[in-house]
């Protein structure tokens, strides 16, 4: 069965960096695009970034562009989110999610989601 | 980018039919997808694209689209359907996604 396990969350001071990881299993990781989606406490879902199955393209939300970078290592079945210059408004649960369409040169929509990792940005 | 608008709260009597709507310019070009999220849990995809239910999603969930409005219909609402529901679609770039603000469904 599809499993996505995020890690790397924690408490970090404003302006600092953090790298999230997501280890995938139960499917051919290198065949699927992957997303990061976040949810601030008590708020709705916010899409953060997507990377195509082969890593050739990646797109980020305007709210994180220039500060966050999505990447992947298909040899390790692992998705990453490098978060720099963190702000208090980045506080959220960060979900890793698989795109619904394999071998898709584009951005589909997430189908399977991990359980999330909490990032708290506070001094 | 573009926005998707949802009613914050909707209620339905047990066993009745409810429609949850999502409005936005991007829906003229792209289908909405729908997610269910219960407290403390990750979202679950309930409708993909035009009107496709992933495996395990009951057939009481269906979707429709008209112009800039997408709708999720639950026919014969059950107590376990009480949850937050989110729509999403691609934004005007075609490569980024956008989520609606979510609708909290209460089953009375």
Q: What percent of chain A has pLDDT over 90?
A: 93
A65 secondary structure, DSSP code: T
> In the numeric block, which tokens belong to residue B97?
């996604």
Taking CB atoms and an 8 Å cutoff, what residues of chain A touch B100? 44
Q: What percent of chain B has pLDDT over 90?
A: 92
User: How far is Cα A5 from Cα A8, in angstroms, rounded to an integer?
Assistant: 10
Nearest-CB residue to A44 (from B44, B48, B101): B101
Asked if B104 contacts B84 with a C-beta cutoff of 8 angstroms, the reply is yes
Taking residue A69's Cβ as centre, other Cβ atoms within 10 Å add up to: 17
- pLDDT interval class at B63 (50, 70, 90): very high
For chain B, the distance separating the N- and C-terminal CA atoms, rounded to the nearest angstrom, is 37
pLDDT digits (tens, 9 = 90+) for A16-38: 999 999 999 999 999 999 999 99
Nearest-CB residue to A59 (from B33, B44, B96): B96
Output the CA torsion sign for A54, A105, A28, A34: positive
User: How far is Cα A90 from Cα A103, in angstroms, rounded to an integer?
Assistant: 31
Q: Is A85 left (phi over 0), alpha (psi -120 to 50) or beta?
A: left
**What average pLDDT score do residues B80-88 get?**
97
Residues A45, B43: C-beta atoms closer than 8 Å: yes
The reported pLDDT for the residue numbered B2 is 63
User: How far is Cα A53 from Cα A103, in angstroms, rounded to an integer?
Assistant: 6
Nearest-CB residue to B90 (from A100, A107, A113): A107
- pLDDT interval class at B38 (50, 70, 90): very high
* pLDDT at position A11 over 70: yes
Contacts of residue A104, Cβ cutoff 8 Å, sequence gap at least 6: A33, A52, A53
* pLDDT at position B1 over 70: no
> In the numeric block, which tokens belong to residue B105?
């469904």
pLDDT digits (tens, 9 = 90+) for A36-91: 999 999 999 999 999 999 999 999 999 999 999 999 999 999 999 999 999 999 99
Query: For chains A and B, what is the number of CB pairs under 8 angstroms?
Result: 61
């Amino acid at each position: 069965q599809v499993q996505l396990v995020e890690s790397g969350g924690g408490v970090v001071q404003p302006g600092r960096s953090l790298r999230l990881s997501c280890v995938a299993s139960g499917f051919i990781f290198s065949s699927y695009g992957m997303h990061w989606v976040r949810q601030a406490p008590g708020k709705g879902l916010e899409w953060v970034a997507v990377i195509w199955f082969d890593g050739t393209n990646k797109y980020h939300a305007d709210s994180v562009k220039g500060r966050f970078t999505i990447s992947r290592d298909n040899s390790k079945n692992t998705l990453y989110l490098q978060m720099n210059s963190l702000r208090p408004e980045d506080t959220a649960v960060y979900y890793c999610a698989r795109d619904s369409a394999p071998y898709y040169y584009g951005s589909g929509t997430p189908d399977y989601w991990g359980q999330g990792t909490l990032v708290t940005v506070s001094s | 980018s573009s926005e998707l608008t949802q009613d914050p709260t909707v209620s339905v009597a047990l066993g009745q039919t409810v429609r949850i709507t999502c409005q936005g310019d991007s829906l003229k070009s792209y289908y909405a997808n729908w997610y269910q999220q219960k407290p403390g849990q990750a979202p679950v995809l309930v409708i993909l694209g035009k009107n496709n239910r992933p495996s395990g999603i009951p057939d009481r969930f269906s979707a429709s689209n008209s112009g800039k409005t997408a709708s999720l219909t639950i026919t014969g609402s059950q107590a376990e359907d009480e949850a937050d529901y989110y729509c999403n679609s691609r934004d005007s770039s075609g490569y980024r996604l956008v989520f609606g603000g979510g609708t909290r469904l209460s089953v009375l």
